[in-house]
Chains A and B, each alone.
Chain A
Amino acid sequence: MAARVLACAPCHGAEGEGTSDVYFPRLAGKPAGYLYNQLIAFRDGRRKYPPMNYLLEFQTDDYLKKIAEYFASLRPAFPPPVPPVDSKEILARGEAIVKNGDPQHGIPPCSACHGPALGGMEPGIPGLLGLRAAYISGQLGGWRYGTRTALAPDCMQVVAGLLTEDDVKAVAAYLSSRPAPADPSFAPRGSLPMPLECGSEPH
Chain B
Amino acid sequence: MSRISTGLLVGLMLAFAPVAARAQQKAADPAVIAKGEYLARAGDCIACHTAREGKTFAGGLPMKTPFGTLYTSNITPDPQTGIGTWTSDQFYRMMHNGRFPDGGLVYPAMPFASYTQVTREDSDAIYAYLRTVSPVRQLNKPHELTFPFNNRSLILGWRTLFFREGEFKPDPGKSAEWNRGAYLVEGLGHCGMCHTPINALGGSSQSQAFEGGLIPMQNWYAPSLTSNKETGLGDWTIEEIVDYLRKGVSAKGAVYGPMAEVVYNSLQYLNDDDVRAMAVYLKGLAQRGSPEKPSTPLPSAESSLLLSFGKPIYDRECASCHGATGQGMPPDYPPLAGNQSIQMVSAVNPIRMVLNGGYPPGTSGNPMPHGMPPFAQKLSDDEVAAVVTYIRTAWGNRGEPVSARQANELRAATLN
B358 within 8 A of A: yes
Q: Is there an interface contact between B358 and A62, defined as CB atoms closer than 8 Å?
A: no
Q: Is there an interface contact between B378 and A10, defined as CB atoms closer than 8 Å?
A: yes
Q: Which one of B261, B356, B368, B375 contacts A63 once the chains associate, using CB atoms below 8 Å?
A: B368
A125 to B360, CA, bound (A): 31
Q: Is there an interface contact between B359 and A7, defined as CB atoms closer than 8 Å?
A: yes
A45 to B62, CA, bound (A): 14
Q: Is there an interface contact between B261 and A58, defined as CB atoms closer than 8 Å?
A: yes
Residues of B within 8 A of A6 (CB): 321, 370-371, 373
Q: Which one of B321, B362, B376 contacts A59 once the chains associate, using CB atoms below 8 Å?
A: B362
A85 within 8 A of B: no
Residues of A within 8 A of B370 (CB): 3-4, 6-7
B416 within 8 A of A: yes
Q: Which one of B263, B264, B371, B378 contacts A7 once the chains associate, using CB atoms below 8 Å?
A: B371
Q: Is there an interface contact between B415 and A10, defined as CB atoms closer than 8 Å?
A: no
Residues of B within 8 A of A51 (CB): 356, 374, 376, 415
Q: Is there an interface contact between A63 and B260, defined as CB atoms closer than 8 Å?
A: no
The answer to whether A55 and B362 touch (CB under 8 A), given A4-B369, A4-B371, A5-B371, is no
A54 within 8 A of B: yes
Q: Is there an interface contact between B367 and A63, defined as CB atoms closer than 8 Å?
A: yes
Closest chain-A Cβ to B64's Cβ sits at a distance in Å of 15
Interface centre among B359, B361, B369 (most CB of A within 10 A): B359
B22 within 8 A of A: no
CB within 8 Å: A-B pair count: 76
Q: Which one of B264, B321, B359 contacts A55 once the chains associate, using CB atoms below 8 Å?
A: B359
Q: Quick one: which of A46-63 are within 8 Å of B by CB?
A: 46, 50-51, 53-60, 62-63
A6 to B359, CA, bound (A): 11
* Chain A interface residue count, Cβ-Cβ cutoff 8 angstroms: 25
Q: Which one of A8, A10, A50, A62 contacts B416 once the chains associate, using CB atoms below 8 Å?
A: A50
Residues of A within 8 A of B171 (CB): none
Residues of A within 8 A of B360 (CB): 58
User: Can you name the residue of chain B whose Cβ is closest to the Cβ of A41?
Assistant: B53
Q: Is there an interface contact between A10 and B373, defined as CB atoms closer than 8 Å?
A: yes
A9 within 8 A of B: yes
* Chain B interface residue count, Cβ-Cβ cutoff 8 angstroms: 29
The answer to whether A10 and B362 touch (CB under 8 A), given A50-B416, A57-B416, is no
* Per-residue interface assignment for chain B, residues 364 to 392, with 1 indicating a CB less than 8 Å from any chain A CB and 0 otherwise: 00011111111111100000000000000
A66 within 8 A of B: yes
Q: Is there an interface contact between A55 and B53, defined as CB atoms closer than 8 Å?
A: no
The answer to whether A58 and B367 touch (CB under 8 A), given A6-B373, A53-B416, is no
A166 within 8 A of B: no
User: Can you name the residue of chain B whose Cβ is closest to the Cβ of A5?
Assistant: B371
B52 within 8 A of A: yes
A60 to B367, CA, bound (A): 8
Residues of B within 8 A of A5 (CB): 371
Closest chain-A Cβ to B46's Cβ sits at a distance in Å of 13
A44 within 8 A of B: yes
Closest chain-A Cβ to B327's Cβ sits at a distance in Å of 17
The answer to whether A58 and B264 touch (CB under 8 A), given A4-B368, A46-B53, A50-B415, is yes
A63 to B416, CA, bound (A): 20
Interface centre among A44, A54, A56 (most CB of B within 10 A): A54
Q: Quick one: which of B338-360 are within 8 Å of A by CB?
A: 356-360
Closest chain-B Cβ to A40's Cβ sits at a distance in Å of 10
A46 to B52, CA, bound (A): 9
Further contacts, 9 of them, CB under 8 A, given A4-B368, A11-B377, A55-B359 = A3-B332, A4-B371, A7-B373, A7-B374, A10-B375, A10-B377, A58-B264, A58-B360, A59-B361
A-B contacts, 28 listed (Cβ < 8 Å): A3-B370, A4-B368, A4-B369, A4-B370, A6-B321, A6-B371, A7-B357, A9-B373, A10-B373, A10-B375, A10-B378, A44-B53, A45-B52, A45-B53, A45-B416, A46-B53, A50-B416, A51-B374, A53-B415, A53-B416, A55-B359, A55-B371, A57-B260, A59-B359, A59-B361, A63-B367, A63-B368, A63-B369
| A contact set with B: CB distance below 8 Å | 3-11, 44-46, 50-51, 53-60, 62-63, 66
Interchain residue pairs A-B with the least CB separation, the first 6: A7-B371, A58-B361, A50-B415, A58-B264, A54-B415, A60-B362
